[in-house]
């Protein structure tokens, strides 16, 4: 069913000023920091299986997944940095340690091997066993693809073979499935790289068994009915038409559903994926591409419940949305999915990590005030460290989001400066995206094929010149397609209009009533107290006044801010309550890209400001 595929890590070299420094920082800071904390907290040491009761650093139920994500990131990173022999040696050392922890029957989990071996697969709804396995599988596939070595891959094949004997609808098998989804998409990857259909069948089973009656968790684990929707187990996937529950789990489940739908040409299952995507992107997504509106269960709430200060918008959830959108585009070829991917990538995801690469947000609210309990400053690590370790593997994949490949076609999904090389084709993209809409595409090798580029949903006007001559074509599903025999050195010039736009939310979004947000190109902007002073809630933006693009202060070179007119509410009295009528004074405001807030010290921030 797939129309397109994403190029492998290493196929695209990202050279822009927005993401290339982040990818470089992943190599120099994010991965080293995550390795250090994984060692210091005992996560890596746990694979030695030497922990005994009463000892410190008891292996936690999700520790294995943290190490797996770092290992996956290391594997991708050595593809991008093949000269780093020290990192490659460290990767092999950790992989050997993980493999050494495998039990004779194929089982591999540090917590349940040494802490509570009697409870293996007893608490599927809450104890992350299969989730950890999924991340180990993804790491093993990445390690094999990066190095060609099979030790880790064969280890996880043995584990998957064991799981296939435990779970299923056969006599004596458990009819369970993971409480935290992830293994579904991982098993599809394992099946793809090994050619073993039984791994795909197991992924298909986990997806199709989910939510069947009688409910496995209620019947076998005593789970409360009210907990089921948070783990997407209150209904089957074929009954699901909304995004519900824990936002990361929902996205990982949707990714697995999309993978299975694609490989089986299952139109009904794909329709459910479309329903979930519409539910997210049209009714349950923040303007930043963040998802998951409440910290209670890290979950989606009802339609249009999108509070700014209390927004959860977990970094991992935004990454999950990017992966889901990537799959939906590859299946359908529809650029609307990349519109959402781009929004989440440029805003909701990258806000979760500092420019230095070693500071992190777990949640990404759209407002942070002096009274905020969390996220006024990025931190180095979390007890639940899923987000820092997820960045290790996400950042090297950015080039794979920007391009896609189809039969006889190469697609530029996001026109960031980069160089694509695959199958004898070599294409270079230059320009200042996302701050500038002028893009140059150069063909470094000749050949006959279709080159397509996406016209973003936010772009109202665009122009194209091929070989210096105007080219006119209407986008189809968001893409302009040009089929011809390309000459080496031939160029395409693309110009995307990128005005400052004032955005307003649907009236049903109570939190944003009477408020406006600022957007330019793919970037959502925010006011930060560093530029505007404290008590941002008193600033009212004049949406009708001209706004200017200006150089941002104390942010990376080339970063553009937006300046405009506002009024500020003030009172002379310092009383808690007063009869005094507020005065409004004119003032200017400056907004910076939301993703870059809190890189200049602790600060207040808001995306949605009152309108004057």
**Residue 246 bridge partners (DSSP):** 299
Token pair in block for residue 340: 């959402």
The position carrying tokens 């003032």 is: 587
Looking at the fold, whether 410 and 492 belong to one and the same domain comes out as yes
Q: What is the pLDDT of residues 210-230, one digit of tens each?
A: 999 999 999 999 999 999 999
386 included as an active-site residue: yes
| 496, 517, 549 - which closes a domain | 496
Question: Would the pLDDT of 370 be above 70?
Answer: no
Can you give the pLDDT at residue 372?
A: 60
* Whether 501 is catalytic: no
Question: Is 420 inside a domain boundary?
Answer: yes
Is 413 a member of any domain? yes
Q: Is 512 within a domain? A: yes
Q: Kindly state whether residue 545 falls inside one of the protein's structural domains.
A: yes
Of the candidates 157, 273, 386, 392, the residue annotated as catalytic is 386
- Cβ density class 388-410: b for 16+ within 10 Å, e for less: bbbbbbbbbbbbbbbbbbbeebb
Encode burial over 281-314: b for 16+ CB neighbours within 10 A, e otherwise. Answer: bebbbbbbbbbbbeeebbbbbeebbbbbbbbbbb
Q: pLDDT of 104-116, one tens digit each?
A: 999 999 999 999 9
Evaluate whether residue 198 is within a structural domain: no
Residues 446 and 472 reside in one and the same domain: yes
36's CB contacts (< 8 A; 6+ apart) are none
End residue of a domain, out of 480, 496, 512: 496
Based on the fold, state whether residues 509 and 607 are members of the same structural domain: yes
- 451 and 478 part of one domain: yes
Is 70 exceeded by the pLDDT of residue 291? yes
Does 536 lie in the same domain as 510?
yes
Q: Does position 375 have pLDDT exceeding 80, yes or no?
A: no
We report the CATH number of the domain holding residue 490 as 2.60.40.1180
Indicate whether 446 and 525 sit together in one domain: no
Residue 526 lies in a domain: yes
Residue 374 has pLDDT above 70, yes or no: no
Structural domain count, the chain: 2
Range of the domain at 588: 502-611
Looking at the domain assignment, is residue 271 inside a domain?
no
pLDDT, tens digit, for every residue of 38-55?
A: 999 999 999 999 999 999
Element holding 428 (H helix, E strand): strand 425-431
**Sequence-separated contacts (24+) of 169-175 with Cβ below 8 Å:** 169/205, 169/209, 174/121, 175/209, 175/212, 175/216
Answer yes or no: do 478 and 516 share one domain. Answer: no
596 inside domain? yes
Question: pLDDT digits over 140-186, tens only?
Answer: 999 999 999 999 999 999 999 999 999 999 999 999 999 999 999 99
Same domain, 506 and 597: yes
| Residue 610 near residue 540 (C-beta atoms within 8 A) | yes
CA neighbor of 75 nearest in space, from 5, 157, 171, 142: 142
Q: Closest by alpha carbon to 193, among 246, 250, 245, 154?
A: 154
Predicted TM-score (pTM) of the model is 0.97
Q: Which of 298, 342, 375, 405 is catalytic?
A: 298
Boundary of a domain, candidates 496, 514, 541: 496
């Amino acid at each position: 069913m797939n129309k397109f595929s994403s190029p492998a890590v290493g196929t695209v070299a990202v050279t822009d000023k927005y993401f290339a420094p982040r990818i470089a920082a992943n190599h120099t800071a994010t991965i080293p920091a995550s390795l250090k904390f994984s060692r210091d907290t005992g996560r890596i040491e746990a694979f030695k299986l030497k922990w005994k009761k009463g000892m410190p650093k008891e292996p936690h139920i999700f520790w294995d997944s943290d190490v797996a994500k770092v290992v996956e990131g290391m594997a991708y990173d050595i593809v991008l940095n093949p000269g780093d022999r020290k990192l490659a040696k460290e990767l092999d050392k950790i992989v050997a340690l993980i493999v050494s922890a495998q039990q004779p029957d194929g089982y591999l989990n540090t917590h349940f091997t040494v802490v509570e071996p009697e409870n293996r697969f007893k608490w599927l709804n809450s104890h992350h066993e299969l989730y950890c396995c999924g991340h180990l599988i993804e790491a093993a596939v990445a390690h094999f693809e990066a190095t060609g070595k099979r030790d880790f891959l064969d280890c996880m094949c043995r584990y998957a073979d064991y799981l296939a004997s435990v779970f299923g609808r056969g006599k004596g098998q458990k009819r369970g499935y993971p409480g935290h989804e992830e293994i579904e998409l991982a098993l599809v990857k394992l099946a793809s790289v090994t050619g073993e259909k039984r791994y795909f069948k197991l992924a298909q089973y986990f997806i199709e068994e989910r939510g069947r009656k009688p409910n496995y968790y209620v019947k076998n684990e005593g789970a409360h009915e009210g907990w089921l929707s948070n783990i997407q187990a209150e209904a089957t996937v074929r009954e699901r038409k909304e995004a519900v529950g824990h936002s990361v789990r929902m996205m990982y489940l949707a990714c697995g559903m999309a993978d299975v739908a694609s490989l089986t040409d299952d139109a009904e299952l794909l329709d459910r994926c479309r329903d979930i995507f519409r539910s997210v992107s049209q009714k349950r997504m923040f303007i930043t591409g963040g998802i998951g509106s409440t910290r209670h269960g890290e979950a989606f709430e009802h339609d249009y419940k999108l509070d700014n200060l209390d927004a959860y918008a977990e970094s991992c959830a935004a990454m999950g949305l990017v992966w889901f959108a990537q799959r939906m585009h590859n299946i359908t070829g529809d650029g609307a999915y990349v519109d959402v991917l781009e929004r989440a990538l440029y805003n909701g995801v990258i806000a979760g990590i500092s420019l230095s690469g070693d500071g992190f947000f777990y949640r990404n609210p759209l407002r942070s005030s002096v009274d905020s309990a969390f996220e006024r400053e990025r931190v180095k690590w979390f007890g639940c460290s899923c987000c820092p370790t997820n960045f290790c593997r996400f950042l090297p994949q950015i080039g794979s989001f920007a391009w896609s490949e189809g039969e006889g076609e190469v697609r530029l999904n996001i026109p960031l400066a980069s160089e694509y090389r695959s199958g004898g084709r070599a294409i270079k993209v230059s320009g200042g995206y996302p701050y500038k809409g002028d893009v140059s595409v150069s063909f470094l090798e000749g050949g006959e094929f279709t080159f397509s580029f996406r016209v973003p949903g936010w772009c109202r006007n665009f122009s194209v010149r091929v070989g210096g001559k105007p080219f006119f074509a209407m986008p189809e599903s968001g893409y302009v397609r040009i089929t011809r025999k390309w000459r080496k050195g031939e160029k395409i010039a693309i110009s995307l209009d990128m005005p400052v736009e004032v955005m307003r939310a649907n009236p049903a979004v109570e939190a944003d009533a009477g408020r406006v947000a600022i957007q330019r190109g793919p970037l959502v902007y925010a006011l930060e107290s560093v530029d505007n002073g404290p008590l941002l809630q008193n600033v009212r933006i004049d949406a009708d006044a001209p706004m200017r693009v200006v150089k941002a202060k104390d942010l990376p070179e080339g970063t553009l801010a937006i300046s405009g007119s506002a009024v500020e509410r003030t009172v002379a009295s310092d009383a808690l309550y007063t009869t005094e009528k507020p005065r409004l004074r004119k003032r200017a405001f400056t907004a910076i890209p939301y993703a870059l807030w809190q890189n200049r010290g602790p600060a207040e921030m808001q995306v949605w400001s009152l309108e004057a």
